[in-house]
């Protein structure tokens, strides 16, 4: 009863946020739901029917989900900045995240500190700024900005679908944008000193690796090892999407788990519980080293839960922990449930690894265990099944070659990360000494890129699905949930 109540409360809270993400009926609607849940609970008080109690709990949780989103949605920007939207302005602000370097431009997240009119006026508000690649700026730089201030707008993508760009940015409390303003450095050294040091280390690491490994290999390695925001180019990224391997381009829960498992194997002479503990600690430090962005923190939490599931075998306990972790994340920022793809994919993939993978492993007895082929096959099939509805809804692309590509590439990712990391670290000592490690790393990266290129060039590599509505996506996940529940019972 208690366990069912927990899942029903979390489910109701998620349904409330999901509903409010698409429909805004005002604060009165959440008050109505609270009153409705009270009425249903009164019925339970009269007849002591447990099902009636669970219904009242679900409705109450849904009302709280709606209310939580209403509170989060109150922040729509700064009134002072709103008055100068679509005007030429002069602002000063601090770069609060690692610059996102693309092929032709760089994007900064800037937190404004002052609006310069006749006199300086203190303001606060985040903006995404698209600027030229040069001059280069870093995390923590205070910059002088001159240009037109705009509000983000939704846009129609190449498939004719409307992308809710406003909500996508609002989940990170970004309500403004500027395109190619004039930028000048005022001073460096701002922001969080730990993050500043970590980003500086990451930049130096990539510079060392870039001296001995060419592009696009070094850009792929940067995403694998340190979650670097360097562009692979639109054409290559499209190939990664077609082949269903886009998840390795950015630092994900999979990459983080690899780091932890490698450390666990290194300390395999210790009792198993100590190895798992060291692996979990390694995930925390690795997340900090790579900048501890919201995406990496979520991936790290999911990776720790996967390690615990494997170590303890207590599927139910880990599943409960996963849902509680997801609930805490959504409670903190309700907009990630619908508008943050990384959270959605990490959560669903983790459920697949914890819950589905052990169930289907017995059907893979023909796949050899050598080089972890069976483990990669099971994990790939399980995660592909679970993330497919989300990918179809978000990207509208069904990869028909995802399974063979993942099998051909994933077995070499741990080795690539190991040699890539050694290449960078040795490069701090001597570029010459790093050449042997760079050679192996480059061979591995070139192999992976070649696999992607070959399979992406196949005419049947992927199918474009122009319309996959949200209600079908939700329905599929409901069917998944019922299927697994009945399977386990």
pLDDT (tens digit per residue) in 198-224? 788 888 888 899 999 988 888 888 877
Residue 260, pLDDT above cutoff 70: no
Are 133 and 171 within 8 A, CB to CB? no
pLDDT for 99: 85
Per the CB < 8 A criterion, the answer to whether 173 and 165 are in contact is no
User: In whole angstroms, what is the distance from residue 451 CA to residue 381 CA?
Assistant: 19
Residue-level pLDDT at 292: 62
CA angle 80, 83, 89 (to 5 degrees): 85
* Interatomic CA distance for residues 156 and 163, integer angstroms: 6
Diameter over CA atoms, the chain: 80
Q: What is the pLDDT of residue 254?
A: 55
Mean per-residue pLDDT of the chain: 81
Who wins on pLDDT, 315 or 185?
185
pTM to 2 decimals? 0.77
Q: Find, among 58, 28, 26, the residue nearest to 41 by Cα.
A: 58
With a CB cutoff of 8 Å and minimum separation 6, the contacts of 97 are 108, 109, 139, 293
- The pLDDT value recorded for residue 26 is 84
Closest CA to 247 of 257, 466, 425, 463: 257
| Helix, strand, coil distribution of the chain in percent, nearest 5 | 65, 15, 25
């Amino acid at each position: 009863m208690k366990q069912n109540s927990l899942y029903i409360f979390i489910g109701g809270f998620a349904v409330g946020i999901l509903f409010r993400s698409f429909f805004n009926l005002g604060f009165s609607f959440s008050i109505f739901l609270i009153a409705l849940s009270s009425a249903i609970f009164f019925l339970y008080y009269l007849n002591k029917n447990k099902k009636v109690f669970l219904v009242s709990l679900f409705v109450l949780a849904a009302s709280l989900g709606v209310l939580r989103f209403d509170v989060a949605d109150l922040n729509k920007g700064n009134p002072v900045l709103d008055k100068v939207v679509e005007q030429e302005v002069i602002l000063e602000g601090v770069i609060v995240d690692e610059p996102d370097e693309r092929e032709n431009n760089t994007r900064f997240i800037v937190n404004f500190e002052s609006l310069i009119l006749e006199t300086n006026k203190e303001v606060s508000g985040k903006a995404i700024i698209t600027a030229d690649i040069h001059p280069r700026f870093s995390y923590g730089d205070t910059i002088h900005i001159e240009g037109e201030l705009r509000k983000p707008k939704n846009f129609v993508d190449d498939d004719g679908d409307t992308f809710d760009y406003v909500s996508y940015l609002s989940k990170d409390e970004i309500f403004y944008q500027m395109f190619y303003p004039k930028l000048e450095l005022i001073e460096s050294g701002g922001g969080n000193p730990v993050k500043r040091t970590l980003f500086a280390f990451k930049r130096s690491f990539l510079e060392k690796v870039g001296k001995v490994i060419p592009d696009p290999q070094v850009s792929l390695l940067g995403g694998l090892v340190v979650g670097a925001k360097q562009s692979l180019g639109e054409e290559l990224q499209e190939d990664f999407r077609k082949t269903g391997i886009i998840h390795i381009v950015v630092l994900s829960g999979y990459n983080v788990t690899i780091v932890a498992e490698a450390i666990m194997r290194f300390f395999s002479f210790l009792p198993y519980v100590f190895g798992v503990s060291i692996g979990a600690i390694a995930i925390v430090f690795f997340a900090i080293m790579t900048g501890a962005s919201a995406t990496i923190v979520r991936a790290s939490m999911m990776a720790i839960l996967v390690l615990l599931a494997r170590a303890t075998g207590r599927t139910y306990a880990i599943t409960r922990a996963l849902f509680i972790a997801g609930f805490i994340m959504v409670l903190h920022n309700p907009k990630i449930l619908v508008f943050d793809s990384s959270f959605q994919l990490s959560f669903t993939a983790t459920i697949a690894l914890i819950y589905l993978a052990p169930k289907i492993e017995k059907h893979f007895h023909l796949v050899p265990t050598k080089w972890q082929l069976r483990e990669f096959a099971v994990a790939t099939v399980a995660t592909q099944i679970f993330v497919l509805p989300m990918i179809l809804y978000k990207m509208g692309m069904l990869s028909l070659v995802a399974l063979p590509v993942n099998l051909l590439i994933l077995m070499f990712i741990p080795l690539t990360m190991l040699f890539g990391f050694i290449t960078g670290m040795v490069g701090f000592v001597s570029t010459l000494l790093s050449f042997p490690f760079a050679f192996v790393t480059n061979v591995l990266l070139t192999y992976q890129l070649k696999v992607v290129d070959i399979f992406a060039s196949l005419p049947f590599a992927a199918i474009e699905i122009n319309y996959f509505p949200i209600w079908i996506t939700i329905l599929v996940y409901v069917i998944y949930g019922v299927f697994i529940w009945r399977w386990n019972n």
